[in-house]
């Protein structure tokens, strides 16, 4: 499912594009003088091995690190391919979230299609070699990469990866020409924090990166962060307005979904607006 050659988007920073294929993320490979870092692994061991092979080809005999933007299957369930071949780094919340939710998410994703089920057939969860809280720096030689916990937002353990204060890997905090994925799945998983997600995007705008790599979709600039932020702010504002007027969550989702589909008509997967509205609706204080 992960396919194609890594493309250099900045000096020493490569992306294996998702090519807008569902259940495939953008993968990062960052090359320094003496080490290299992989950002996300793809879904399942076969995709993980493909990413590892591409990283080894670029890195040569450099030491390898791998980290995840968040724990979701298409981003991190290929990590087992890296065990013993790279130093695996998670933030502590990611590790906990994977332990608590990994099996359920694997089962949910297996139900998406036979092809996805095949990728996950031999999945095995591995523990990180290194965990951190807050922020960590990885010195690759000649460039420094900052790993920063920013959740809860899309997930509890969201992490951004910032290379030389210039290139930002945002994971599923950001999608390009796709409606943001709000994984609000009551009663099983309601940890998405859509209100705080907006705050996180404001923080990312303050970083002013030159290059922004979303979880899915084309590499962009800071305008992508602003677009996603404006969408979430609009959905949150409209949800609060409609609830104050007595609308149910279903009614608000119908109205806002139709409006968002018109406003952002070039974006794919409008069904995610329904989930975002419900997350905002149930996050509003009760009176």
- Could you tell me which residues come within 8 angstroms of residue 273 by beta carbon, excluding any fewer than 6 positions away? 179, 235, 253, 256, 257, 260, 261
Distance, CA of 120 to CA of 83 (rounded, Å)? 17
pTM of full prediction above 0.95: yes
The predicted pLDDT at position 1 comes to 82
Q: How far apart are CA 160 and CA 187, in angstroms?
A: 28
Average pLDDT, the chain: 97
CA distance 198 to 5: 33
The residue-averaged pLDDT of 15-40 equals 97
Q: Which residues contact 1 (CB under 8 A, 6 or more apart)?
A: 21, 23, 24, 42, 43, 47, 115, 119
191 pLDDT higher than 70: yes
- The more confident residue out of 180 and 144 is 180
Residues 76-127: pLDDT tens digits? Answer: 999 999 999 999 999 999 999 999 999 999 999 999 999 999 999 999 999 9
Q: Where are the domains of the chain?
A: 7-222
**Predicted confidence band of residue 20 (pLDDT cuts 50, 70, 90):** very high
Cβ 254 vs Cβ 173: under 8 Å = no
Could you tell me the pLDDT band of residue 285, with boundaries at 50, 70 and 90? confident
Between CA 148 and CA 158 the distance in angstroms is 9
Domain 7-222 sits in CATH at 3.60.15.10
> What is the C-alpha separation between 263 and 253, in angstroms, rounded?
15
Reply yes or no on whether the pLDDT at 287 is more than 70: no
- List, for residues 209-226, the tens digit of each pLDDT value: 999 999 999 999 999 999
Q: Name the phi and psi angles at 270, rounded to 5.
A: -65, -15
């Amino acid at each position: 499912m992960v396919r194609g050659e890594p493309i250099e988007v900045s000096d020493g920073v490569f992306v294996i594009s998702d090519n807008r294929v569902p259940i495939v993320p953008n993968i990062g490979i960052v090359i320094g003088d003496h080490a290299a870092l992989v950002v996300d692994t793809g879904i399942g061991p076969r995709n993980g091995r493909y990413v590892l092979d591409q990283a080894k080809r670029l890195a040569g005999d450099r030491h390898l690190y791998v980290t995840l933007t968040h724990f979701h299957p298409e981003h991190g369930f290929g990590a087992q391919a890296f065990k013993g071949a790279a130093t695996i780094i998670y933030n502590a919340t990611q590790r906990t979230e994977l332990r608590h939710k990994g099996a359920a998410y694997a089962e949910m994703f297996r139900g998406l299609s036979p092809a996805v089920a095949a990728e996950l057939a031999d999945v095995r969860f591995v523990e990180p070699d290194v965990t951190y809280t807050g922020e960590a720096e990885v010195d690759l030689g000649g460039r420094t990469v900052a790993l920063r916990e920013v959740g809860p937002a899309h997930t509890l353990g969201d992490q951004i990866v910032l290379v030389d204060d210039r290139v930002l890997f945002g994971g599923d905090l950001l999608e390009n020409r796709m409606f943001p994925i709000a994984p609000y799945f009551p009663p099983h998983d309601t940890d998405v924090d859509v209100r705080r997600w907006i705050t996180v995007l404001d923080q990312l705008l303050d970083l002013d990166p030159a290059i922004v790599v979303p979880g899915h979709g084309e590499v962009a600039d800071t305008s992508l962060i602003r677009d996603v932020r404006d969408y979430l702010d609009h959905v949150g504002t409209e949800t609060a307005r409609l609830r104050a007027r007595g609308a149910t969550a279903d009614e608000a989702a119908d109205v806002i979904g139709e409006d968002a589909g018109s406003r952002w008509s070039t974006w794919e997967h409008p069904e995610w607006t329904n989930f975002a509205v419900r997350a905002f609706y149930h996050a509003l204080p009760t009176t």
